Amino acid sequence: MMFIKNLPWVSLILVLLTYGIFGWILSQEYLPVFVWLLIVISVLFLVAALTTPWSKTTQFMSILYNTKLKSFGFAVLSAFLFFIILARFRIFLDIMLIISATILARLDFQTAGFVEIQAFCFTSLFSIAGLMLGLLLNQLI
Q: What does the pLDDT look like over 5-35, one tens digit per residue?
A: 788 889 999 999 999 999 998 888 888 889 8
Q: Is the pTM of this model over 0.85?
A: no
Q: Is the pLDDT assigned to residue 64 strictly greater than 70?
A: no
> Three-state SS string across 59-100, please?
HHHHHHCCCHHHHHHHHHHHHHHHHHHHHCHHHHHHHHHHHH
Q: Please check whether residue 19 is in contact with residue 134, taking contact to mean a CB–CB distance below 8 angstroms.
A: yes
Cα–Cα distance measured from residue 129 to residue 51, given in angstroms and rounded to the nearest whole number: 18
Q: Residues 85-104: pLDDT tens digits?
A: 787 777 778 888 998 999 99
Residues belonging to the chain: 141
Q: Are 20 and 137 contacting, i.e. CB atoms less than 8 angstroms apart?
A: yes
